[in-house]
Structure formats: C-alpha cells, structure tokens
Amino acid sequence: MLQTTWIALVLGFWSSLYLLDVFLKSKKSVARPYLSFLDKTGLTISACQVRWYTCIFNRVFLRVGQWKPHFLRIWFTLGIIFSLLAMVASIFLLSLLVVNTLRQAPVEHQVLTPVMPGVNLPTNQISYYMLTLLVCGILHEVGHAVAAVREQVRINGFGLFLLLLYPGAFVDLSTEHLQAVSPLRQLRIYCAGVWHNLVIAVLAALVLLALPGMLVPFYSLGASVVVTDVVPNSAVSGARGLKIGETVTRINDCHIKSISDWSACLSTSMQEKWTGHCLPLDLIKELDASPFTNKSHSQWEVIDCCNSTSPTHLCFMYHTKKSAETLIFNITKYACLPARPATDRPMCRLQSDCYVPKIDAACVYPAVDNETKLLRVFHGQRPPLLFLGHPLDLYYSVSLSNYVPKISIIPLNLPYVIETFCKYIISLSGALVILNVIPCYALDGQYIFHAFVELALRPAVPDPEIRSLIFSLVILFGTLLLLINVVLAMWTLLF
C-alpha cells in the first residue's frame, strides 16, 4: 500500500472519530447519555488520541507491591544502578552519533529511528509492532506502579492510550505522596520502568535462544525446511508448484537442512556456469522433438530449437566431436527434449562426467542465458519441481521455516510468530531504555535526573537555585540532543 494511502486512512479515521465525538457531545438528545457512557467506561477522545482510564487494577498493584518488600527493595535499587549507568551511556552514544554526522563520518544505523508504517515498517508487521509496543508500555508502567506501592506512594489509576498508530500505557500516581518521599525512594519509582524494559528484553532474548529446545517435542529440526508461504501467481505457485506445509530437501544435488542451506544452495546455483545431465546420444535422438534436424551452433542465429513445441519440452545443447583428417573439432548441437525425463538422468558439469565404457553419452545443458538456471527442487512426496529462471526469483517466491511440524494439527507459523515477537520486544524495549533514560523534558530521564541531583548534590550544593540551574542546563542539553538525533534519523529515513 502506498505511503500516501496509509496517511490518508489514518487521518481519515482520526478526523471521523473526533468529529463524531464533537457531534455527540453537542447533540442535546444524546449528549447526556454519551457523556455518562464516557464517564463510566473511562474513555476520553481528543485530537488523534483515545485514552482509557481505570482504577480496577489498583488492588492488584497493592498486592504485588506488598509482596516480599525486602526483595523488591533490592530489585528496584538494582534498577537505579542500571538506569544511571544507562543514562551516561545513552548521552555518550547519541553525542557520538551527532559528532560523526557533523564530521561526515560513516554512520550505518541511527539508534533512534522513527517507525513509520509503509516506510520502514512492512504492512504485514504492523500488528507485531503495535502489540509489542503495547506490551512493553504496559510492563514499563507496571514497574512504576509496583515500585510506587513499595515506597508507599498512592496509585490513583492506570490507563491505556492510542496516539495515531502508537499504543501505550500510563500510571497515575499521587503527586503529593511522590514529592513527600526521599529522593532515593523517588529514584526507585522513576527507574522502575526502564529497569523492567531491560528485564523483558533479556527474557525475550533468552526465549529466542531456548526456542529450538522448547519446540523439539512438536517440531523437527535439522532434516529439511518447510514451506510456510508461496507468493500467488509466482513461478512456483499453482497445482504443480510448491504447497504450504511441504518439506524441501534438495535443490539439484545440494541438500537443504536449514534456511541457511537454502540460501547457500541458491547462491551456489547462481555462481555455477553449467549444470547438465548425462544422456546417451541414441536417447537424445529418440527424444528430440525439434522441428528441424540438429545443426551446429554457427548455423543458429537464435537458440530456439523447440520453437514452442510443447510447454513440457526445453531446448538443450550438447557437444559432440567430429574428426577431419588429423584434427578433432567440438561441435555444439541442440535438441528439444522433454524436460522431466532429461533431468531425471545423472547430473554432470563436464563432458568427462558422462563417460561410460562402450556408450556414447553427452552432458546436455539447458540452452539458456547465463543468468537463467534450471533447478530441480525436491519437495514432499511429489516429483521434483522444475524451476527455470533466475534463482533469486525462486528465493523471493517462497517463505520457509526450519521448524517442520511433527503432526499436521501443529500450527505451521507458530515458531515464526514467537521469533518475530521476541525480536520486536528486544528491539523496541531496548530502544525504550535508551529513549527514556535521556535527561529530556517529559521523559523518565527528566525525573530520574532531578531525583539524582537532589540526592547527590544537596550535601555539596545546598543552594536550591544552583541545583535547579544545573538540572535545567542538563535537561536542555538532553532535549536538544534527542531532537537532533530524531531529525537526523528522519533525514536518513526519508532522504
């Protein structure tokens, strides 16, 4: 889908929702029940945003926050240590990216790249992205809530929101209680969200590493790959093509036990100049369906010996020797042969590979250009698929998985879903760590740094105005640093 179409759909949806909200609030006959509905459900609709606020989780947060308080104290103290170290590392990393960009030094990847559906996020990955962002946001805010209960700060409520296409969560803490506790206790609360983002990223990485072992009872590994998707109307679709759920074991004589083997076999086929099959000369003459007799290469202007004889036939070339007095010449000839019987013969790369005593045989090759290959794909229990074309077309026409279900009722795409979800959690949760610890306005880093200044500098700098000045300067620097990195990332993405 085009980028402009996505933008039009998103803006159209939010405009319609906002106008509907305004209309229902202004219509006298429905305004009162509509406002009552919003109040009971906790919904709030504004420009490009929907929020849901509730108090039903307060009791759950209270129970979790009172569970093993000594352990939770150590747990959230570790979050302080990590968050302060991460703040220093994030400032250094983002500053280095800006310096390298200004010096025109190569920067392969921006750390903070805005995710835009249809631009750098495939449309079929939007559901993974939104679900991951929602899960990371919820667990981030749950960390704040549990830490707040542990530090005896009241929780007013919890909520979810959708801003354009970006879901998220928030926790409403009592400002009076929060300001009344010590800076150290404030740090435990402010750092809990970033700390939990790191924890869930590590857990996702562990699941990703342990996934092969976890799925062994249900899936086979290391023997073949399985087809999970076939591009419609591609060269390998159709009744005789590859089917979803079939295993693929070989391409020509290259065995496939994993997706990396699949890629390696296709890469090898692109590099090979010739791959043919050994046929006796008598059999070539018997099977030849050329409308003309065999002619030498010099007598053909266009190699089309089949002349569209049949879709099951293909033009092959082979070499024979001819003696003239004391000289021996190699002559290239062509034959229109049925592709499947011809390719069922032993494979060869040189004429010498076809040597059999007392039998005249030739290594026949498909008469195609250097980039076009004839590949035999062994799949399932059916005869090999004959693919004629560029190997990259085959590569992009199918999706494969290393996990082959042991029985048919096991979901074929479950390993892919788990792998993709874990990778998104690692990526997005890691990005949230880098983003939130930056001392920037409206981010956790602002409150973390403020509490740190009050904790660390109050004995050495008793004047609150000087501490406030130090805080403001650092926050201004962090905000500008973040904005510059986002602008650079947008520039790289769009231009």
Catalytic residues: 141
Which residues have C-beta within 8 Å of that of residue 129, sequence separation ≥ 6? Answer: 115, 117, 121, 424, 428
Q: Which residues have a Cβ under 8 Å from the Cβ of 396 and sit 6 or more positions away? A: 231
For the chain, how big is the Rg over CA atoms in Å? Answer: 33
CA distances from 27 to 21, 35, 68 (A): 10, 11, 53
Gap between the terminal Cα atoms of the chain: 20
3-class DSSP state of 328 = strand
For helices 183-214 and 69-102, the axis angle rounded to 10 degrees is 80
Give the Cα separation of 395 and 312 in Å (integer). 23
Q: CA 335, CA 289: separation in Å to the nearest integer?
A: 7
- 8 Å CB contact between 288 and 337: yes
- Comparing CA positions, the residue from 268, 224, 266 lying closest to residue 248 is 224
DSSP code, position 356: B
State how far the Cα of 226 lies from the Cα of 115, in Å rounded to an integer: 31
Report the C-alpha dihedral over residues 130, 135, 136, 141, rounded to 10 degrees.
130
DSSP result, 163-227: ETTEEEEEEEE-HHHHHHS-HHHHHHHHHHHHHHHHHHHHHHHHHHHHHHHHTTTTEE-SS-EEE
